[in-house]
Amino acid sequence: MIGSGLRTSLRRPASGTLPRRCSLVVPGRSSSMRQPDMQRKLDLRTGSPVWEAYRVPRIPTQRLTQNVRCEVLVVGLGISGAMLAEALTAEGLSVIGVDRRGAMLGSTAATTALVQFEIDQPLSELSRKIGVSDAEQAWRRSRLAVTNLRGRVDELGIDCGMDARQSLYLAGNALDPGELRKEAEARRGAGIRATYLTPAALKEKFGIARKGAILSHDNIALDPRKLTAGFLGAALARKARFYSPVEVLALAPGTNVVAAETKGGPTITARQVVLATGYELLDVVPAETHSIISTYAIATKPQKSRLWPGAAFIWEASDPYLYMRATADGRVICGGEDEEFVDEQTRDGLLAAKTRTIAAKLKHLFPDLDTTPEFAWTGCFGTTTTGLPYIGELPRHPGIFAVLGYGGNGITFSQIASEIVATTVAGREDTDAKLFAFGRTNVVRKLVDLTGKLLP
């Protein structure tokens, strides 16, 4: 799910703003001693995302023509950057946001925006990887994030078509009915409501013929571009300044300050810098635990009368898995068929075949739907072996924060990132920060992140 990774599997990356030649300048060293430059400057998506069919408020940005200063520089003006900018300005901090494309021009439109608390890694599996206590707390924090996001949108009056949805997690080749029952039990043990549906109950309630499912509640459907525009607008109202197109070429940390050198010449000086660029990141961000996935999605014509009961989110415990949701006007968005990212040409060359496959799978699940795609697109998202993001200050680089590895929970994890980063920058402690930190102290957690293998 892109960036919310599509389930939001075009799930979640934020707009990229750093160019291929971006590096960290180490004070006191010559340019020949600079750390290696950034590995990728990518086209984040291709095709026609359905969200571009709906109008959003215009977000004004300025040209960067002279040196400027602020307390916090946010690099990236996609979903993550928008939520960070709003949260930081709410703390009373002066914020500048930059993007090498422009506001909402990266992966924002590629997300399918299934805003779920259910992490890609089932709780039962995540518990084996990082321990029961940490896994349960990660799931609880994810659930809290969805609740907090709903309240935040209401408080700010953001018009993004927000609507509460149930979620169905269907039995598949990754979790069979017996394992799905155990997953529901694990969630209930963590204080998270989960109901196992037998095949008969699933068919009766939702008209779906599968071997079982977990029914969850209180997830959110919304328009991701309208959500992003709403947060950017709220930050602007608090005197945030946005500049585009701006490419950050290098970061030069000093004493209690970081200087960001830009392609056009001006320098942005900030007390802290937050990199919210998805997987288009500086080499200073640890790369060994972060991989890039290509994902595909379609959207049908509006057909409210043919939707399944309640228009619940649907996703499969399978590999590859399928996920789907309905828009406010009755279109069905369906995605999946993820592939390891090779390059943009390979990813884009698969779009036509993947579109046909997704439409056929959707038709098999719901024979009465017209699954002819009116929109089809592909994009990339970053993921980790645990399914949990990395959020926080970079080791050995004080004052430089980054958020990445959102997988299929982009918008949910963006909410968590905005909470943790804003709290930390404001000088307070978030009790869950260590769960998502780059310098994770749990040795077992580090080994799992590095190897990607389950512990016995």
**Domains delineated in the chain:** 23-163+219-296+341-354+371-383 (3.50.50.60)
Nearest to 69 by CA among 231, 254, 234, 258: 258
311-332 pLDDT, tens digit per residue, is: 999 999 998 889 999 999 999 9
Structural contact between residues 253 and 399, judged by C-beta atoms closer than 8 angstroms: yes
301: left (phi over 0), alpha (psi -120 to 50) or beta: beta
Terminal Cα-to-Cα distance of the chain (whole angstroms): 29
70-106 pLDDT, tens digit per residue, is: 999 999 999 999 999 999 999 999 999 999 999 998 8
Nearest to 331 by CA among 221, 169, 408: 221
Instruction: Give the per-residue pLDDT at 373.
Output: 97
Torsion angle defined by CA atoms of residues 395, 399, 405 and 410, in that order, rounded to the nearest 10 degrees = 150
One-letter amino acid at 190 equals A
Q: Which helix (H) or strand (E) holds 356?
A: helix 351-365
Q: Is 172 exposed, middle or buried (0-12, 13-18, 19+ CB in 10 A)?
A: buried
pTM here? 0.87
Structural contact between residues 117 and 16, judged by C-beta atoms closer than 8 angstroms: no
- State the chain's mean pLDDT as an integer: 85
Distance CA 49, CA 45 (A): 9
Per-10-residue mean pLDDT of the chain, 456 residues long, equals 41 34 38 35 68 94 97 96 98 97 87 93 94 97 98 98 97 95 98 98 96 97 97 98 94 93 94 86 57 87 96 93 95 90 78 95 96 92 82 92 82 96 97 90 49 39
Kindly state the tokens that stand for 248: 């950050």
Which residue intervals of 157-198 are DSSP H helices? 177-189
Kindly state the tokens that stand for 198: 């037998």
Instruction: Give the per-residue pLDDT at 285.
Output: 59
DSSP E strands, 288-368: 291-299, 313-316, 322-326, 332-340
Give φ, ψ of 179 to 5 degrees.
-70, -35
Q: Is 55 exposed, middle or buried (0-12, 13-18, 19+ CB in 10 A)?
A: exposed
Instruction: Give the per-residue pLDDT at 446.
Output: 52
Residue with tokens 């946001």: 97
Distance CA 309, CA 12 (A): 27
Instruction: Give the per-residue pLDDT at 436.
Output: 95
Instruction: Give the per-residue pLDDT at 282.
Output: 54
